[in-house]
């Protein structure tokens, strides 16, 4: 298993949020812990340009992956992978947990309920991005 640190943005699968997972449909629930990861082959189908610079998520079809925020007391969350994405080479220095000086790559899109859990009940729309550790 590998752990990668990066950023997660909000994608509620209904158009809310700025993090757009490739081919995301309305099949995921905004009230559950769903996420996308950019080096994940969804159910045997490649539906995006894989970001092979980060470790591959090798879980079963719509399997679960561990994610947590290193700067809160929130324990690890188990999130269901629903899609491949976001697109690679998107960076930001403005995110929950950051001090505005370190650029990190956006490596996941998460539902607002998962974002809220990871930031210990902050308002996710205030932040938009959060630092996360993803274990694959």
pLDDT of residue 83: 80
Separation of alpha carbons 79 and 118, rounded Å? 11
Distances from the Cα of 91 to the Cαs of 7, 63, 100, 103, 120, in angstroms? 8, 26, 12, 6, 23
Q: What is the pLDDT of residues 57-104, one digit of tens each?
A: 988 888 899 999 998 876 689 998 878 888 788 899 999 999 899 999
Q: To 10 degrees, the CA torsion angle through 114, 116, 112, 89?
A: -80
Q: What is the pLDDT of residues 8-53, one digit of tens each?
A: 998 766 555 667 666 544 456 667 888 888 888 877 777 677 889 9
pLDDT of residue 22: 61
Task: Look up residue 90 and give its DSSP letter.
Answer: -
Separation of alpha carbons 72 and 117, rounded Å? 10
How much is the average pLDDT of 116-134?
91
Structural element, H or E, at residue 118: helix 112-118
Q: What is the pLDDT of residues 60-71, one digit of tens each?
A: 888 899 999 998
Asked if the peptide bond before residue 86 counts as cis, ω within 30 degrees of 0, the response is yes
**Does the predicted TM-score (pTM) go above 0.85?**
yes
């Amino acid at each position: 298993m590998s752990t990668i640190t990066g950023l997660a943005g909000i994608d509620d699968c209904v158009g809310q949020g700025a993090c757009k997972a490739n081919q995301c449909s309305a099949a995921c629930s905004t009230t559950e812990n769903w996420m996308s990861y950019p080096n994940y082959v969804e159910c045997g189908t490649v539906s995006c340009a894989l970001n092979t610079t980060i470790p591959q998520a090798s879980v079963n079809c719509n399997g679960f992956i561990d994610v947590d925020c290193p700067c809160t007391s929130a324990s690890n969350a188990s999130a269901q992978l629903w899609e491949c994405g976001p697109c690679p080479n998107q960076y930001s220095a403005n995110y929950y947990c950051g001090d505005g000086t370190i650029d990190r790559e956006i490596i996941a899109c998460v539902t607002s309920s998962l974002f809220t859990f990871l930031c210990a009940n902050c308002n996710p729309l205030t932040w938009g991005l959060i630092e996360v550790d993803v274990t694959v």
